[in-house]
Structure 1
Amino acid sequence: MIVAAHWEALLQLLVAVRAEAAGRRFAGGPFLALLTVVPSEFPPARGEGAEACLVWLNSAGIRRPCPQRGSISVSTSHPRCSRRAGRRLATNEREMMMRDLHDEELRALLAFRQRHGRCWKAALLLRWSAGTDADEPGSAHLRHLRNIGGPRWLLGLSAATLDDAARRFAGCVDPALIDVFMENATGFARGASASVGIAPASAAHSLAIAIELSLKAYLMKAGYADDWNRVHIRHDLEKALALAVATGLSGFPPELPQLAAILSPAYSRHQIDAMFRGGASPFDVTDASLCVDRLLAVIRAQIA
Structure 2
Amino acid sequence: MEIDQAIKLQSLYKNYRVKTSVSLFKPNFKDIAAIRGVSFIHDMKQNLGIFGKNGAGKTTLIKLLTGILPPTSGEIKVLGFIPYKLKKEFKKQIGLFQGGKGQLIWDIPAIQSLELSRYIYGYSKDEFLQRLADFSKALDIGDELNQPLRNMSLGQRCKMELMFSFLHLPRLVFLDEPTSGLDIITRSNLRSFINYCHQQYGICFVISSHNVKDITDCCKSCIILDKGHILYQGDTNYLLEKYQYDIISINVDSEDMAKEISSKFDGKLNGSQVILETSSSDTDEVITQLLSQYNIGAFKLKRKDTEDIFTEILKNE
Under a length normalisation based on structure 2, what TM-score does the superposition of the two structures give?
0.22
Larger helix share, 1 or 2 = 1
Larger strand share, 1 or 2 = 2
- Between 1 and 2, higher relative CO (CA 8 Å, sep ≥ 6) is seen in 2
